[in-house]
Structure 1
Amino acid sequence: MPQTVTCTVLFADLRGSTSLYESLGNAEAASVVTQSVSVVGRIIEGQGGRVIKTLGDGLMAVFKGPLPAIRAAEEVHESIDRVMGASRPASQPVMRVQIAMVHGEMIEVAGDCFGDAVNVSARLLDAAGDNETLLTTQTLEPLPPEMRKRFRRLERLHLRGRVEPVEVWRLEPRRGQDAASTMFGDSAPTAAPEGIRLASEGVSRIHTVRSLPVIIGRSHEANYCVDDSRVSRSHARIEWHSGNFQLTDLSSNGTYVRFGRQSEVVTLRRGACTLHGRGVICMGVSPNVLNAPTISFEILRFDDTDPQPI
């Protein structure tokens, strides 16, 4: 008999497995992925959760409430980081974990789960960056006040299949822990940046840390609306994360970054990179493509820059 229950639905996904298959071969890569998914499953069960099903290089689980689900998510991130750091050769690609969770009603039938909480959690996973845990407002509200302080509001996302946007929050790392993922090889400047200048179609604005996050996309609700069919409604997010300005791709077609005058282009597909210096952000296609939709950026320090909009 179908049973309606209220619980926290968690989806976890290991990203980077495709590169593992390319570098290690099918047998060895499959072993690494299988073992990693098993580690995630054991952590979830150790926190009182129940694995509903595995999904290739990810899984779906349910918890009685959001607090044990968040504890499991933190332990999963830390465990996968240790595994990748301890046993991975320098030439082997790194796998990252993305986690999304939603607290709400679902229907359980023959060991599987269905309903709005399941659908929203699955769609929210697509918006998570490397090593991020995302959840909704209704998932945040039952948490103790001290735990709620560790979450940062991102934006209202338009999720596939839903008319109304969903308010999303991200779990910040514990104090002293740096969870930022930088996909560009050069190191960021040692002095903390204080602002970022973004320019598009002749309009230039300066954003301080307090005015972030900034959403770039085709939607009129985005901070920078780029009317181009190659651009997703919510295409990319710029935010202050672990002491840097971080760009996260949220799109279907990818986000591309070129730093300064360098010819190399950094490609982000649901990943993130730290912005430094100056350069261009291109949505949907490479900046080498004619008439590509782009936004230029420049990281600022206000001791030698006038922080006024141009």
Structure 2
Amino acid sequence: MGVQSTVVFADLFGSTAVFESLGNAKATAAVTEITTWLAEEFQAGGGRVVKFLGDGVLVTFKDKTHALASVVEVQRDYAKKLAHTPPATYMPLRIGVAFGEIELVDDDCYGDAVNISARLSELTGPHQIWVSSQVLDDVKLPSGARARFLGPIHVKGRTEACTVYQVEWQEDVDSDLFTIHSPELDADKEASSFSQTVRIELSWLTEHKTFKTSELPIHIGRIRQADFVVSDLHVSRRHARLDWRNGNVVLTDVSTYGSWVRFAGGGSDLLLRREECVLHGKGEVALGTTFNDLSAPVVSFWIHSPS
């Protein structure tokens, strides 16, 4: 019989590099120490640890409020631990959270929410929390935290896209906690590595360009001075801007008539009029008119992120 639960999947970003640099024995000890700590913290917050998955843990909560409070507190406490962690074992935490009916079988759990939480954890960047929209229904966020709309995301095995939010928890945390102080490193090593491996690929007709996050912000527009030129009368001179913010590629519409965003895998088209959204995976942006207009200039995008 199924039960309604909030499912949390938390895993360590950068563990592969730690195994390569330290070897199996030392890396396993470092990962086990952290995942054991995570399990204890989630249990203290009201969660039930279902199982350990290599460099991650799968946890269920009966109460959505307790789940959100727990993941925010864990990220904040873990950030403090990271401030004193040597670069060799520095592994930021990323968390995916989903709500739905799950099946409990032999001390394990299965179901849509389990799949979604695992997939969201894979898609997040270092230090991030992504949650499905159902998690936030009728729930008050923990103090100092806020939710930012990311849009629909396609989850493998589902026909319908999942609407996702990022829970931003860092407001009550000193930014110095994200900095490694050492002779060689005076910045967030893994977050920097993550940003360097993210690429943004844009295509329109014969125009094709790939950008690194270090090249952002870039502008999409009709004028020749734009970083990505779409020479169509529907398009404003400076139509949209791409920024790298909090580990995400953010599209901001700055046009006269708006932009429409469509993500691969389904979901409703998202209209932006002087608004912004996070781009993820693959999709398309119609500039100045809807996708239903056959004359619409449509830019394809592909966000290449490390797994």
Q: State if a TM-score over 0.5 links the two structures.
A: yes
TM-score of the pair, normalised by structure 1:
0.63
Which runs of no fewer than 5 residues in structure 1 stay unpaired? Answer: 186-194, 227-233, 237-254, 256-267, 271-310
Of 75, 78, 99 in structure 1, the residue corresponding to residue 76 of structure 2 is 78
Cα distance in 1, alignment partners of residues 43 and 164 from structure 2: 26
Is 1:17 paired with 2:54? no
2:152 aligns with 156
What displacement does 1:37 show? 0.3
What displacement does 1:169 show? 0.5
CA RMSD of aligned residues (A): 3.0
Greater share of helix residues, 1 or 2? Answer: 2
1:103 aligns with 99
Task: Say whether the 8 Å CA contact 1:65–1:103 is kept in structure 2.
Answer: no
Of 143, 161, 167 in structure 2, the residue corresponding to residue 165 of structure 1 is 161
Classify 1:222/1:139 alpha carbon distance in 2 versus 1 (closer, same or farther; 3 Å): farther
Task: Say whether the 8 Å CA contact 2:69–2:142 is kept in structure 1.
Answer: no
1:303 aligns with none
Amino acid at match of 2:239: R
Cα distance in 2, alignment partners of residues 11 and 216 from structure 1: 19
What displacement does 1:97 show? 1.0
What displacement does 1:100 show? 0.8
Classify 1:221/1:197 alpha carbon distance in 2 versus 1 (closer, same or farther; 3 Å): closer
Paired residue total: 221
Classify 1:35/1:146 alpha carbon distance in 2 versus 1 (closer, same or farther; 3 Å): closer
Cα distance in 2, alignment partners of residues 99 and 169 from structure 1: 12
Question: Residue 163 of structure 1 aligns to a residue in which SS?
Answer: coil
Q: How does 1:45-56 map to 2 (within 5 A)?
A: 45-56=43-54
Classify 1:217/1:133 alpha carbon distance in 2 versus 1 (closer, same or farther; 3 Å): closer
Classify 1:216/1:173 alpha carbon distance in 2 versus 1 (closer, same or farther; 3 Å): closer
Classify 1:139/1:222 alpha carbon distance in 2 versus 1 (closer, same or farther; 3 Å): farther
Cα distance in 2, alignment partners of residues 44 and 145 from structure 1: 17
Percent of aligned pairs with the same amino acid: 31
Q: How does 1:155-194 map to 2 (within 5 A)?
A: 155-177=151-173, 178=175, 181-183=191-193
Cα distance in 2, alignment partners of residues 146 and 73 from structure 1: 10
Q: How does 1:119-130 map to 2 (within 5 A)?
A: 119-130=115-126
1:215 aligns with 279
Classify 1:174/1:15 alpha carbon distance in 2 versus 1 (closer, same or farther; 3 Å): closer
